[in-house]
Structure 1
Amino acid sequence: MRRLPNFVLLRAFEAAARLESFTLAANELHLTQSAISHQVRELEDYFGRKLFERRNRRVEPTLEGRRLLESLSRVFDVIEAACNEVSLAPQSQVLAVYSAPSLAAKWLGPRLPLFMQAHPDITIRLTSGADPVDLTVARETDIAITYGTAHQRAGVIVVPLGAERIVPLCSPRLLAPDTPIQTQIHTLPLIDSQLSPVKWPDWFVANGMVCPKRPRASFDRGALALSAAVDGMGVALESTRLAERELARGELVTPGEEVFAPITREIHFLAYRRNEAHLHKVGAFLNWLLVQARLNQAEPE
């Protein structure tokens, strides 16, 4: 048995705390103000502490009340989403996809409308995070796309999403057209992408040069490093997969593309449970995603 107070009391508290009004909460829940007040008082008795400070025409959650509201709001959002999924048409399916944040924002997200048009019976629920997901534990996730590494587990299939070109990227307005790029690269401000497996010293060594010893701006997400490069902050060393829209729009260029050697790495990994590959929603997404990945895959070194 879970040790929980009555759900009715939690619902009354959440509405009152969110609206900061017993009257508005009563209107939302189709109850009387007296009923809301009674239920809140009962919940306060359960916890043995005040959850609200009563003001003139409003109520204000106490510190404990605000903590409870923050947690309940997340829980109620999950409950609401679960109920919405149950109410979908019988043929509809929900696919829970977990993705590395920069890939979700820069590459996967812009492509999802194509998948949704091809598979209107599958509803995508996309979440993102920097840490790899263990699919033997995170049963609520159907497919995980992680950055840098993936949990190798029995019953879980891990597939690299192909080699990616990691190259210098900068705003074209940062470059001097009459100066050799080999000279400019030693003086241009450089941007570090903290999680990237390829660092500036690696790139300079691969191109037979010495990495300049000067401070570099640093970002913990590839998407942030690319945004800084677009803004003219400096040269980012990142994957062209993540920068494909900025490159297509001319917001970023690859300085010295014909001169410098690119570095290719497999840096994004797709994971799914072996015993779920036969499911329509999983199989359809896997096939679609692997095709998308092949469309812009870099040639290996």
Structure 2
Amino acid sequence: MRKLPSLQSLRAFEAAARLQSFLLASEEMHLTPSAISHQVRGLEAYLQQQLFTRSNRRVELTDAGARLAATLSTAFDMVEEVCRDLVPKAVTESLSVHCTPSFASKWLGPRLPAFMREYPGLTIRMSSSAEAVDMLKHAELDVAIAYGSVRRQAGVVIEALGAERTAPLASPRLLDKGFQREDIATLTLIESNLNPVRWRDWFKHNNLKMPDKPQPSFDRAALVLAAAVDGLGVALESVRFAERELANGELVIVGEGMYKQIERETHFFCYRAADRSARKIQQFHDWLLRESQNLAGDN
């Protein structure tokens, strides 16, 4: 049998020695200063040695106290380290997501903090490119969010993320107070090369004649919106991508209420059918659909 003083008295002494204060030791151990003093006195009685000298509310270690404090500090550090190693680590999973750069920066990225708060054990690993990816050839990906037209293939589940509105967007600085329906043809029209809805589609849908003049074009929705914010002209782009600029007033929907709306399914959630039961994919899937439905409701 080991002959040792009480663990509580050793802990009280080590804390008082380390902090050089009975008061601070009491706060750390959630005891009263008198309880710390009582534990230390009991240890001194056991060892038949004075461990502290006490004067003017200060305590200083004696030689015997310094020797014991050094040994206890090392021993407690070792115990703390092995206990930390033995405690099971939090289980974390990673989910590899691929999408277009604009979807990542303009829509998904701003929402990821909320997702991480809801699912703290799931870490998103994101990659992006404008090109579509074949889920059957890229085993490193868990899900892909495709844009535009999607080629159906066996073994891959493809689900639309709801219809989204494409609308003419411009800086409010470009629009006169007396803006009329036909006036949009006088503005510079910015073409978004990857958007499946083009200006010719929009003009035809609204029974308007499209002007015959040059159109600046960009191959990223983020660039198109940035150009519109800077006042280059009118962007025809997804409202889904422009929610931040619309909210802060950098952009407005041109002629809201004057034109017929265009809504199409343009983003699709894709994953391998073999992974259908994967919990992390279902969690991300359900969260993404909720976010998409919330946006659709706001529109």
Measured after TM superposition, the shift of residue 280 of structure 1 is: 2.0
Contact in 2 for aligned 1:152/1:158 (Cα 8 Å): yes
1:235 pairs with 2:234: yes
SS in 1 for 2:269: strand
What's the counterpart of residue 108 of structure 2?
108
Q: How does 1:217-256 map to 2 (within 5 A)?
A: 217-256=216-255
Contact in 1 for aligned 2:91/2:121 (Cα 8 Å): yes
What's the counterpart of residue 214 of structure 2?
215
Cα distance in structure 2, aligned partners of 1:299 and 1:116: 23
1:133 pairs with 2:137: no
Cα distance in structure 2, aligned partners of 1:248 and 1:198: 23
What's the counterpart of residue 144 of structure 2?
144
Cα distance in structure 2, aligned partners of 1:157 and 1:126: 20
- Deviation per CA, 1:243-285: give whole Å up to 9, x if none: 1111111110011111111111111111011221222211111
What's the counterpart of residue 194 of structure 1?
193
What's the counterpart of residue 99 of structure 2?
99
Q: TM-score, normalised by structure 2?
A: 0.68
What's the counterpart of residue 165 of structure 2?
165
Structure 2 regions of 5+ residues with no counterpart? Answer: 1-87
What's the counterpart of residue 38 of structure 2?
none
Cα distance in structure 2, aligned partners of 1:268 and 1:243: 15
Q: Which has the larger radius of gyration?
A: 2
Q: How does 1:1-301 map to 2 (within 5 A)?
A: 89=89, 91-178=91-178, 180-297=179-296
Cα distance in structure 1, aligned partners of 2:297 and 2:196: 16
Cα distance in structure 1, aligned partners of 2:259 and 2:139: 44
Q: 1:298 to 1:185 in 2, by over 3 A?
A: farther
Cα distance in structure 1, aligned partners of 2:151 and 2:210: 33
Measured after TM superposition, the shift of residue 181 of structure 1 is: 2.7
Structure 1 runs (4+) deviating above 4 angstroms are none
Contact in 1 for aligned 2:227/2:233 (Cα 8 Å): yes
Cα distance in structure 2, aligned partners of 1:93 and 1:104: 20
Cα distance in structure 1, aligned partners of 2:282 and 2:155: 16
Query: One-letter code of the match for 1:290?
Result: L
Cα distance in structure 1, aligned partners of 2:151 and 2:187: 38
- Percent identity reads 49
Measured after TM superposition, the shift of residue 159 of structure 1 is: 0.3
- Deviation per CA, 1:54-108: give whole Å up to 9, x if none: xxxxxxxxxxxxxxxxxxxxxxxxxxxxxxxxxx956100100001111111001
Cα distance in structure 2, aligned partners of 1:139 and 1:152: 18
Query: One-letter code of the match for 1:150?
Result: V
- Deviation per CA, 1:196-218: give whole Å up to 9, x if none: 11111111111111000000110
Structure 1 regions of 5+ residues with no counterpart? Answer: 1-87
